Amino acid sequence: MTGTTCNNFTGGTAVQLPGLQYSLKNGAINSVSPGVFFLYSNVTLASAGTITVTESATNGWNRALPPATGSSGIVLYNQSCVKVNVRTSVSGGTITLSSVPAGSYILGIKYDPTSLKGYSPPATSSTYTFNVSGGVLPASASIQISGK
């Protein structure tokens, strides 16, 4: 959801976003609703290492959804929702958190779908899938984007 926090996620009160919708102007995306959304995932590393989030999309959609910039874009939390400082990098649809100590964490990523403004969408809806790897149990989440 657009205003979800780490505490909402850990407390089980986070509401799942049903999807993203865009409107067109002259054949190009003019707006996307909602303007931001969050991906949260539990991640446990048995030993120090790297967490990677890889994004893909269906139906020929080749535009990566970038994380929001700034301190709220990519955050790794401990189990008490306190930020843990790690190195992060973004390359296309891949986010990497490196030098992560062993332990259990909550990964929070704020995505910015408004970056799709100005691009032509595929002929049909598309589904973005986010695969979280590097932990003991890999995780996956997806969200559909379609026209209004």
Q: What is the residue extent of each domain of the chain?
A: 6-142
Q: What CATH number does domain 6-142 carry, 3.40.30, 2.60.40, 3.40.50, 2.60.120?
A: 2.60.40
If you average pLDDT over residues 90-97, what whole number do you get? 92
115-118 contacts, C-beta under 8 A, 24 or more apart: 115/63, 115/65, 115/66, 116/22, 116/29, 116/32, 116/63, 116/65, 116/145, 117/28, 117/29, 117/30, 117/31, 117/32, 118/28, 118/29
Q: In the structure, what pLDDT confidence band is assigned to residue 61 with cuts at 50, 70 and 90?
A: confident
- pLDDT for the residue numbered 68: 83
If you average pLDDT over residues 134-138, what whole number do you get? 87
Q: In the structure, what pLDDT confidence band is assigned to residue 71 with cuts at 50, 70 and 90?
A: low
Are the CB atoms for 38 and 131 separated by under 8 Å?
A: no
If you average pLDDT over residues 83-94, what whole number do you get? 92
